[in-house]
Amino acid sequence: MIGSGMDRLLKALFQLREFKLKRDDDFTDRLNRQWTPTLMALFTILVSIKQYVGAPISCWCPAQFTPSHHDYTNTVCWVSDTYYVPFSRTAPKEKEPREDISYYQWVPILLLVQATMFCLPAVLWKLLHRRCGLNVCSLIEASRAAQRALYADTREKTTRFVVAQIDCYLLQQRDYSRSGFAKLRATFARYCCLFPARLHGNYLTTVYLCSKFAYLINSTGQLFLLDFFLGGGYSVYGLRLLRNAMKGGRRWSASPIFPRVTLCDFQVRQQTNVHRYTVQCVLPINLFNEKIFIFIWFWLVMVSCCTLISLLQCTYKASYWPAQVRDVRKTLSSLEFGKREIRTAKTFVERYLRRDGMLLLRLITVNAGHLVSADVLRGLWVGYGSDKRIQNKSRANLSQEMV
């Protein structure tokens, strides 16, 4: 019983490792789904060590308190909310409003939630792209194997496998219906890259762009999530630090978001009497929290900018056909194909490769290199020129849209 449970646990761990290490996206996606969760996990370990091994809070108690009273005060002030009052102001009375500091106990959980949220768009991409009938992960791994191959015949066989898989996918994902609705859908899919038409070469591209958009929403949304969690002002916290640095500020002033000295109110019942105490507490844990969340602010801004640029680039390449045709012609000319043959590249791109084929070639380029991608394109081009079946189907699709 225990052995079977251990086997299932090990199998799940190996599957998780396989999920993380497989490449079917670009560097920006891995920056979101791999490097950022790893960073959050590291910060979680650091904060947890400080909380559960060190002394996260230390309160200045009245003189009559015994050591056990000191321990109780530190514990009750740690599990309850403290509040921040600058030394230039007087402490508020019992029912007056105050700036409660209630996040520091939950920082490790928050960091784990952030790490999980960065993995969700990757799960969306992996679950949805498998429905197209093509294993993109295996395709990219085969391309990387061709890149690492030591012998020419091994590289050639692996490249032929990649070409055959892409060719099979491109030929199967076609709609040969001649109905008016099918023609309208084909025309709309040709001019709109976000139309998830599996039979019109848009499905993978739509899912990929949606996953990138989800990465962007996640990275920018987490800035405002932290703003809500930390009590406000965090979304512009890094800008304030930069402005202070540009003004020549050298002293690291205490922040009201991450106060190091707070006040704590608690009550003690002694028989029928209830005594209320207000003690001053120092939060050494906020020294770590402040530096960690400053780094996270700049990291989230950097990741958001990289993701936005990558999303705009992918959208441009997917929606602007002349750019895709130009890239294919440039690669074909470097492979020493004739100018007369290269003139048909427009039909080759728009009617055969379409957006999904171009996306697969770009993923191969960013993961296995331009040389492997060029070899795959050569194989697809040669097969397209020699196989009348492909050309006839391309002409059939063209005539269908023109009718």
Contact between 214 and 124 under an 8 Å Cβ cutoff? The reply is yes
Q: How far apart are CA 45 and CA 135, in angstroms?
A: 35
123-164 tens-digit pLDDT? 999 888 888 888 898 899 999 999 998 888 999 999 999 999
The pLDDT-based confidence of 212 (bands split at 50, 70, 90) is very high
Q: Does residue 193 sit within a domain?
A: yes
Q: Does residue 93 sit within a domain?
A: yes
Q: Given a cut of 70, is residue 390 above it in pLDDT?
A: no
> Strand order of the sheet with strand 261-270?
58-60, 273-282, 261-270, 82-84, 99-101
Share of the chain above pLDDT 90, in %: 30
pLDDT at 115: 94
Q: Does residue 254 sit within a domain?
A: yes
Q: How far apart are CA 53 and CA 46, in angstroms?
A: 10
pTM, 2 dp = 0.82
Q: Does residue 1 sit within a domain?
A: no
SS3 60: strand
20-76 tens-digit pLDDT? 456 788 899 999 999 999 999 999 998 988 887 778 888 988 888 888 988 999 888
Q: Does residue 210 sit within a domain?
A: yes
Backbone angles phi, psi at 4, to 5 degrees: -65, -40
189-203 tens-digit pLDDT? 555 555 555 556 788
The two tokens of residue 335 are 């492979």
Structural domain of 82: 25-402
List residues bridging with 279 in a β-sheet.
264
Residues contacting 56, CB < 8 A, separation 6+: 50, 78, 104, 283, 284, 285
Most confident option among 35-49, 129-143, 236-250, 385-399: 35-49
Distance of CA 61 to CAs 53, 90, 196, 238, 372, Å?
22, 19, 65, 35, 70
Q: Does residue 251 sit within a domain?
A: yes
Q: Does residue 175 sit within a domain?
A: yes
Q: How many domains does the chain have?
A: 1
pLDDT at 166: 92
Return the exposure string of 267-279: e unless at least 16 CB atoms fall within 10 Å of the residue's CB, then b.
eeeeeeeeeebeb
Q: Given a cut of 60, is residue 348 above it in pLDDT?
A: yes
Q: Does residue 16 sit within a domain?
A: no
Share of the chain above pLDDT 70, in %: 78
Q: Which amino acid belongs to residue 400?
A: Q
Q: How far apart are CA 318 and CA 208, in angstroms?
A: 11
